[in-house]
């Protein structure tokens, strides 16, 4: 059965991505960082034969943005696998791929996790062999990954009342998982929201032990 990897991405428009980071390092640098991170992530993940990559993008009006055409030309993500996230809050939009994609387990990730590697995704799919739902925790209390085996429909209220962009996001989501759904945990990774996040990532990347 096909494994589906969904990258949730925002069109890399100047001034409309990584706004918290932009307040620290400037709009141009933040946009440049996001474009590079998005490019590397699509490149690294779309070439792995263990899963099929889908891009669910926002805003819907940018479904033909050059970044998605570049993904098709360079990284074998054809236009038919570039789809709009749709309307609603983050939780409502995140449920769309789990309801829309063909049969098979689904793992959904963000597009600004520079430490993510194919090995993290492979581990997540392995975990879905033992659990129905899966979360990849972030050190700030959020999560960078959600996966589902999809042997039963996704809980409708999974993201109800979740306090997004806070230290409660993962705990809030966990509390909405109904029994007897089994929940697993993927690796802990972080996105880059602030200049401090970026400095920590660069320090870890360049340290001899990395």
pLDDT in tens, 60-118: 999 999 988 887 667 678 889 999 999 999 999 999 999 999 999 999 999 989 999 99
How high is the mean pLDDT of the chain? 92
Predicted local distance difference test score (pLDDT) of residue 73: 65
Helices 27-46 and 66-75 cross at an angle (nearest 10°) of 30
Question: pLDDT at position 71, please?
Answer: 78
Longest CA–CA separation in the chain, Å: 47
Low-confidence ranges of the chain (pLDDT < 50): 210
Would the pTM count as exceeding 0.75? yes
Q: Is the dihedral of CA 190, 145, 47, 99 positive or negative?
A: negative
3-class DSSP state for residue 146?
strand
The domains of the chain, with CATH numbers, are 4-206 (3.90.550.10)
What pLDDT, on the 0 to 100 scale, is given for residue 18? 93
117 three-class SS: coil
What is the separation, in whole angstroms, between the first and last Cα of the chain? 35
Angle at CA of residue 52, ends 50 and 57, nearest 5°: 140
pLDDT at 133: 97
CA distances from 137 to 80, 90, 140, 172, 178 (A): 30, 17, 8, 13, 19
Q: Please report the pLDDT score of residue 209 as a whole number.
A: 54
């Amino acid at each position: 059965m096909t494994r589906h990897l969904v990258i949730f991405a925002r069109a890399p428009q100047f001034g409309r991505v990584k706004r918290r980071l932009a307040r620290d390092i400037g709009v141009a640098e933040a946009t440049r960082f996001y474009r590079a991170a998005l490019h590397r992530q699509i490149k690294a993940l779309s070439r792995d034969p263990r899963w099929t990559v889908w891009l669910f993008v926002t805003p819907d009006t940018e479904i033909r943005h050059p970044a998605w055409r570049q993904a098709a030309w360079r990284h074998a993500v054809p236009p038919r696998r570039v789809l709009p996230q749709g309307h609603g809050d983050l939780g409502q939009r995140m449920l769309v791929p789990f309801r829309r994609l063909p049969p098979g387990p689904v793992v959904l990730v963000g597009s600004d996790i520079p430490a993510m590697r194919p090995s993290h995704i492979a581990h997540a799919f392995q975990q879905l062999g033992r659990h129905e739902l899966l979360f990849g925790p972030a050190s700030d209390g959020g999560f960078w990954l959600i996966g589902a085996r999809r042997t039963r429909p996704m809980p409708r209220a999974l993201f109800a009342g979740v306090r997004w962009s806070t230290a409660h996001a993962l705990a809030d989501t966990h509390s909405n998982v109904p029994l007897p759904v089994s929940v697993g945990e993927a690796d802990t990774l972080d996105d880059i929201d602030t200049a401090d996040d970026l400095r920590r990532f660069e320090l870890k990347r360049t340290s001899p032990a990395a």
